[in-house]
Amino acid sequence: MQQQQMHQQQILLQQQLMGFMQHPRQPPLWIRHWLDVEAHQLQPPAGAIAVECVIAPALFGRERNQAIVDENVEKLKKVLEVYEARLAQSRYLAGDALSLADLSQFTIMHYFMATEYATLVEALPHVSAWWKGLAARPAAKKVAEFMPLGGGPSKKHE
């Protein structure tokens, strides 16, 4: 009897997963969408800015390449506008519940927010609230302890 119940639960789980696959607005597809956005749209410009402003000075002892920063600031502004529009509709990227879609953004955002260009996020009310909520989570604080920022002073970009 117990084995039959387990088999029925497996079938139910498979049916639920198939239902998610058939409905593009369900969380698994939204999560994948935002993982792709992070990897291909957010990370390249935010990462380049973080490398030039935080990592290169701290780890490599070199001055930032301001041309790289300037080029990527413009790209990042466009991406953050998309985030702002999405977060105006829901509390989190993939809906009203925290998911991997949000958590995957933490690493790059942590380093980016240590730059003077953090004002790009702070200027967008929904993105700013989302980031502050994410960074305030106890687990995020613990992870951040293992992500040293080092480098030069953090100034706010005017």
Query: 95 - beta bridge partners?
Result: 92
**CB contact set of 110 (below 8 Å; sequence gap of 6+):** 135, 143, 144, 147
Are 151 and 54 a contacting pair, CB within 8 Å? yes
Phi, psi of 95 (to 5 degrees): 140, -150
pLDDT at 58 (0 to 100): 84
Q: Is residue 71 situated within a structural domain?
A: yes
Q: Containing domain of residue 90, as a range?
A: 24-145
pLDDT at 149 (0 to 100): 79
Q: What is the CATH number of the domain that holds 85?
A: 1.20.1050.10
Q: Is residue 19 situated within a structural domain?
A: no
Q: How much is the pTM? A: 0.76
Total domain count for the chain?
A: 1
Element (H, E) at 6: helix 2-22
pLDDT at 152 (0 to 100): 40
Write the DSSP symbol of residue 152. S
Q: Is residue 16 situated within a structural domain?
A: no
pLDDT at 20 (0 to 100): 46
pLDDT at 102 (0 to 100): 96
Low-confidence ranges of the chain (pLDDT < 50): 17-22, 24, 151-158
Question: 66-87 and 43-50 helices cross at what angle (nearest 10)?
Answer: 140
Phi, psi of 43 (to 5 degrees): -60, -45
Cα–Cα distance, 123 to 125 (Å, whole number): 6
Sign of CA dihedral 46, 74, 68, 121: negative
